[in-house]
């Protein structure tokens, strides 16, 4: 713990990097997974393509993906893109199924009623299907966020990685306190992010908790 | 074809439905929904609706009834283009529905779906305001209209702030009806709306619908698999047969008395002779009855009807010797009460009464006399002789 207080500025700096490297991919991945999930929820073919593909992506070890990304997309080794891209891939792989399942779980008679009332497709999606899919979607988003926060550290292998750098540096200099600081930072960040999403979910879906 | 009279009083007998040979002068009837040679074949080759020709007249409740897979719901859904026909034409007010863009068409046609299908994430008020908002009303006006509608369908406007999950099934279905009526569409499609609620609530909702229709005068197409519901609500009933054939399209009394084929006869059910009585409104002689009040000392000689202070029936007393004090514990509970409306009610009151005397009550529930089964049968025989029972 003492390391954190003695090196507050440095700790805050890696926290910022860690936060950025985990949140940016979640946001991008989430946005990408909405149309993909919608497609998968409507088409058997889309599901047959997207789901196995997502599973394969998810089984690629994060170390491998992070190390190989600079080679594949040809950017400088220290660019943050090298961490963001793999994490976007993981987020999409996780969220496409969550969004598809959430949309598929919207009750059929509610959708039929919306059509019968005269909703056009886009408006129906934005004001009926998607809001009703939010509870399940947000549950998926919490998993994706926490898993991203933990995975960012692997980026230390390519010189980026927020708290991950505290791990490598601490290991190299035999500084347990520094490793512990990175660990504490990761856990606190994960818990806070998870709690925040939970809160946002509750605020957005007051209807989901009303009982008779 | 002779004209149709909704309820024509002939020799003191009201007959609802059925061509009765009395020509009632009416202007040209506006035919609001017409199916012309409509066929729907699904991709897998099954024929859901086969060459349907049918006209739903303006301002009536028309019921499509039949077993599952008979094409009744498909037919309904072709009216607002939730399903498009394979061939044939559907006209709403003379206009081919296929020429209208579906969302625009649907906003002009109310729709009530099974189990209400309310939007769980919107308050009751916003659910009701859905179509006005889609049609571009401003929010305040749409909500004011929605609150009015809650009252029209018999719900406390305080329910407006709740979410659908906080309402009972019956209340949800009332909201479903309010939502369908919000933009005041001339046509209302109801797809098995009351099938998921318990029988008592269902009866309430049915009565409410009849009350609403008396005020609103919409053209309503109502789909159900329940023949009793069809006969109760429908001014005209279309019986569909498996394979998408229209087996018979007639007034309820005619379905009961003159089913077009064996399918209709068996679908209408075993008690149809008895149920025909529902559509006969006759003057049955009302006989006086001996009554006594609770706590009174009386000499019981025959069946005596015990009543309360407001003259409302409490039960029967019989088989006690000499003078007794009328006590609640000695009462034999009575049968159904006859409110002077249909022959079915009269006969049931007589048959279900322990004394074989059917208790007749007025609007306030006070006893006015008793009817006997034999008199009901006689009234029926008279009606039949006079040709007032549809053949």
DSSP of B267-322, one letter per residue? Answer: HH-TTHHHHHGGGEE--PPPBP--EEETT-EEE--S-EEEE-TT--EEEEE-S--S
B77: its two tokens: 């859904």
| Greater model confidence, B17 or A83 | A83
Instruction: Kindly tell me if the per-residue pLDDT of B117 is higher than 90.
Output: yes
Tell me what pLDDT residue A2 has.
79
B135: Cβ contacts below 8 Å, ≥ 6 apart: A118, B107, B183
Q: What is the ipTM of this complex?
A: 0.84
Instruction: Kindly tell me if the per-residue pLDDT of B12 is higher than 50.
Output: no
Tell me what pLDDT residue A87 has.
92
d(CA B195, CA B274): 24
Tell me what pLDDT residue A27 has.
96
Please answer whether residues B351 and B338 qualify as being in contact, where contact means their C-beta atoms are separated by less than 8 angstroms: no
Task: Examine residue A211 and state whether it is found in any structural domain, yes or no.
Answer: no
Of B82, B107, B121, the CB nearest to A205: B121
Dihedral over Cα of B190, B123, A198, A30: its sign:
positive
Instruction: Kindly tell me if the per-residue pLDDT of A23 is higher than 50.
Output: yes
d(CA B179, CA A129): 19
Tell me what pLDDT residue B390 has.
59
| Greater model confidence, B65 or A158 | B65
Closest CA–CA distance from residue B318 to any residue of chain A (Å): 48
- Per-residue pLDDT tens digits for A114-152: 999 999 999 999 999 999 999 999 999 999 999 999 988
Q: Spell out which residues of chain A touch residue B168, defining contact as CB-CB under 8 Å.
A: 212
Mean pLDDT value of segment A84-88: 91
B10: Cβ contacts below 8 Å, ≥ 6 apart: B20, B22, B386, B388
Angle at which helices B373-385 and B343-352 cross, to 10°: 150
A199-203, B218-222, B334-338: least confidently modelled range: B334-338
Residue A96 — pLDDT band, cuts 50, 70, 90?
very high
**B197 Cα distance to chain centroid:** 15
CB pairs under 8 A between A and B: 73
In this structure, the number of other CB atoms found within 10 A of the CB of residue B272 comes to: 18
CATH of the domain at A154: 1.10.3720.10
Instruction: Kindly tell me if the per-residue pLDDT of B51 is higher than 70.
Output: yes
Classify domain B27-108+186-281 by CATH number.
Answer: 3.40.50.300
**A153 Cα distance to chain centroid:** 14
A122 touches B at CB < 8 Å: no
B104 touches A at CB < 8 Å: yes
The answer to whether the predicted template modeling score (pTM) of the entire model surpasses 0.90 is no
| Greater model confidence, B6 or A139 | A139
The DSSP 8-state label assigned to residue B64 in this structure reads: E
Please answer whether residues B231 and B256 qualify as being in contact, where contact means their C-beta atoms are separated by less than 8 angstroms: yes
Query: How many Cα atoms within 13 Å fall on the side-chain side of residue B234?
Result: 30
Q: End-to-end CA distance of chain A, in Å?
A: 48
Tell me what pLDDT residue B131 has.
94
Residue B28 — pLDDT band, cuts 50, 70, 90?
very low
Tell me what pLDDT residue B388 has.
67
By CA distance, what is B120's nearest residue in A? Answer: A207
The alpha carbon torsion through B16, B19, B25, B29 (nearest 10 deg) reads: 90
A128 touches B at CB < 8 Å: yes
Question: Closest Cα to residue B81, out of A43, A41, A115?
Answer: A115
Bridge-based pairing state of the strands B61-65 and B47-57: unpaired
- For chain A, the C-alpha Rg in angstroms (whole number) is 20
Which H or E run includes B11? none
Please answer whether residues A99 and A86 qualify as being in contact, where contact means their C-beta atoms are separated by less than 8 angstroms: no
Task: Examine residue A24 and state whether it is found in any structural domain, yes or no.
Answer: yes
B329: its two tokens: 């514990």
Domain boundary assignment for chain B: 27-108+186-281, 291-385
Tell me what pLDDT residue A133 has.
95
Question: Under CATH, what is the fold of the domain B291-385?
Answer: CBS-domain (3.10.580)
Write the burial class of residue A205 (CB in 10 Å: 0-12 exposed, 13-18 middle, 19+ buried).
middle
Bridge-based pairing state of the strands B291-293 and B304-307: parallel
Kindly determine whether residue B117 and residue A109, on different chains, have CB atoms separated by under 8 Å: yes
Please answer whether residues B99 and B59 qualify as being in contact, where contact means their C-beta atoms are separated by less than 8 angstroms: no
Q: Spell out which residues of chain A touch residue B131, defining contact as CB-CB under 8 Å.
A: 117-118
Please answer whether residues B316 and B329 qualify as being in contact, where contact means their C-beta atoms are separated by less than 8 angstroms: no
Mean pLDDT value of segment B251-269: 88
d(CA B117, CA B131): 14
Q: End-to-end CA distance of chain B, in Å?
A: 15
Dihedral over Cα of B162, B163, B168, B171: its sign:
positive
B271: Cβ contacts below 8 Å, ≥ 6 apart: none
Q: Could you identify the residue written with the tokens 């863009």?
A: B101
Of B104, B166, B189, the CB nearest to A212: B166
Residue B385 — pLDDT band, cuts 50, 70, 90?
confident
A114 touches B at CB < 8 Å: yes
d(CA A92, CA A84): 12
| Greater model confidence, B257 or B210 | B210
- Per-residue pLDDT tens digits for A46-56: 999 999 999 89
Query: How many Cα atoms within 13 Å fall on the side-chain side of residue A116?
Result: 31
Task: Examine residue A210 and state whether it is found in any structural domain, yes or no.
Answer: no
Please answer whether residues A181 and A11 qualify as being in contact, where contact means their C-beta atoms are separated by less than 8 angstroms: yes
Instruction: Kindly tell me if the per-residue pLDDT of B93 is higher than 60.
Output: yes
By CA distance, what is A119's nearest residue in B? Answer: B103
Q: Quote the number of domains for chain A.
A: 1
Mean pLDDT value of segment A38-51: 92
Host domain of residue A141: 2-205
Tell me what pLDDT residue B22 has.
32
| Alpha helices, DSSP H, located in B159-249 | 169-181, 199-216, 227-233
A138 touches B at CB < 8 Å: no
Write the burial class of residue A74 (CB in 10 Å: 0-12 exposed, 13-18 middle, 19+ buried).
exposed
Kindly determine whether residue B111 and residue A212, on different chains, have CB atoms separated by under 8 Å: no
Q: Which of A112, A113, A126, A205 to mutate to test the interface with B (most CBs of B within 10 A)?
A: A113
Please answer whether residues B192 and B224 qualify as being in contact, where contact means their C-beta atoms are separated by less than 8 angstroms: yes
Question: Closest Cα to residue B222, out of B131, B119, B129, B110?
Answer: B110
């Amino acid at each position: 713990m003492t390391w954190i207080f003695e090196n507050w500025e440095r700790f805050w700096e890696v926290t910022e990097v860690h936060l950025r490297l985990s949140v940016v991919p979640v946001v991008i991945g989430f946005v990408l997974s909405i149309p993909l999930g919608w497609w998968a929820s409507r088409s058997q073919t889309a599901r047959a393509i997207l789901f196995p593909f997502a599973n394969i992506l998810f089984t690629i070890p994060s170390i491998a993906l992070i190390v190989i990304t600079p080679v594949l997309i040809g950017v400088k080794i220290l660019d943050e893109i090298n961490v963001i891209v793999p994490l976007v891939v993981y987020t999409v792989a996780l969220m496409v199924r969550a969004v598809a399942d959430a949309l598929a779980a919207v009750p059929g008679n509610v959708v039929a009623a919306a059509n019968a009332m005269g909703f056009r497709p886009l408006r129906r999606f934005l004001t009926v299907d998607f809001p009703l899919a939010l509870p399940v979607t947000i549950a998926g988003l919490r998993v994706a966020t926490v898993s991203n926060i933990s995975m960012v550290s692997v980026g230390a292998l390519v010189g980026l990685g927020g708290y991950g750098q505290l791990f490598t540096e601490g290991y190299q200099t035999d500084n347990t306190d520094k490793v512990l600081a990175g660990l504490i930072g990761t856990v606190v960040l994960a818990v806070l992010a998870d709690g925040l999403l939970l809160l946002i979910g509750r605020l957005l879906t007051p209807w989901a908790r009303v009982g008779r | 074809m002779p004209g149709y009279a909704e309820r024509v009083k002939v020799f003191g007998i009201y007959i609802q439905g059925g061509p009765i040979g009395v020509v009632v002068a009416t202007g040209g009837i506006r035919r609001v929904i017409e199916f012309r040679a409509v066929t729907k074949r699904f991709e897998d080759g099954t024929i859901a609706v086969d060459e349907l020709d049918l006209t739903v007249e303006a301002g009536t409740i028309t019921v499509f009834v039949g077993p599952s897979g008979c094409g009744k719901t498909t037919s309904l859904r072709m009216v607002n283009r939730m399903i498009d026909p394979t061939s044939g034409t559907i006209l709403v007010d003379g206009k081919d529905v296929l020429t209208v863009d579906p969302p625009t068409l649907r906003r002009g046609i109310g729709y009530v779906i099974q189990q209400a299908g309310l939007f769980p994430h919107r308050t009751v008020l916003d659910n009701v305001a859905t179509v006005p908002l889609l049609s571009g009303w401003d929010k305040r006006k749409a909500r004011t209209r929605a609150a009015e509608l809650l009252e029209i369908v018999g719900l406390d406007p305080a329910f407006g702030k709740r979410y659908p999950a906080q309402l009972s099934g019956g209340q949800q279905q009332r909201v479903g009806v309010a939502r369908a009526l919000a933009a005041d569409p001339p046509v209302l499609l109801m797809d098995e709306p009351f099938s998921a609620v318990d029988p008592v609530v269902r009866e309430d909702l049915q009565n409410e619908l009849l009350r609403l229709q008396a005020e609103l005068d919409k053209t309503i197409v109502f789909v159900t698999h329940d023949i009793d519901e069809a006969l109760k609500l429908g001014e005209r009933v279309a019986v569909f047969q498996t394979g998408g054939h229209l087996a018979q399209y007639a007034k309820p009394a005619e379905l009961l008395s003159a089913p077009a084929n064996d399918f209709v006869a068996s679908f209408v059910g075993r008690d149809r002779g008895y149920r025909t009585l529902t559509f006969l409104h006759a003057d049955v002689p009302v006989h006086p009855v001996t009554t006594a009040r609770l706590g009174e000392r009386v000499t019981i000689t025959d069946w005596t009807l015990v009543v309360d202070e407001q003259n409302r029936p409490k039960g029967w007393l019989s088989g006690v010797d000499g003078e007794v004090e009328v006590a609640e514990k000695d009462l034999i509970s009575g049968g159904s009460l006859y409110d002077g409306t249909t022959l079915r009610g009269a006969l049931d009151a007589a048959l279900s009464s322990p004394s074989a005397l059917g208790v007749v009550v007025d609007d306030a529930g006070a006893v006015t006399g008793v009817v006997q089964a034999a008199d009901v049968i006689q009234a029926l025989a008279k009606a039949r002789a006079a040709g007032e029972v549809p053949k």
